[in-house]
Amino acid sequence: MKSIFAVLICAVTLAGCAEMTPGQQRAAGGTAVGAAGGAVIGALAGNAALGTAIGAGAGLVGGLLYNHVKQNEQSAYQQGYSAGQQSR
């Protein structure tokens, strides 16, 4: 019964990501990965809750920085593409 409940929770959580923008997905992904990593490190250090909170914060910042890089990359691509089209 517990495994069915866990699968349903995961399915509902992932279904909620379908309507998110790519930036929101990157931020949420960074937060989730950071929280998981922080929980593991915190558990080894003796305080899993604090590790989870710190990891989630660090993951959120990492996800937002990655989103910023990808947006700049896309912008540069579009500028180059437009310049190439105009030179024809």
Structural domain spans, the chain: 19-86
Cα distance between residue 78 and residue 76, in whole Å: 5
pLDDT of amino acid 3 = 72
pTM: 0.74
pLDDT of amino acid 88 = 75
pLDDT of amino acid 34 = 93
| 42 to 23, 24, 46, 58: CA distances (angstroms) | 28, 26, 6, 14
pLDDT along the chain (88 residues), means of 10: 73 75 91 92 91 94 95 94 87
What is the C-alpha end-to-end distance of the chain, expressed in Å?
A: 64
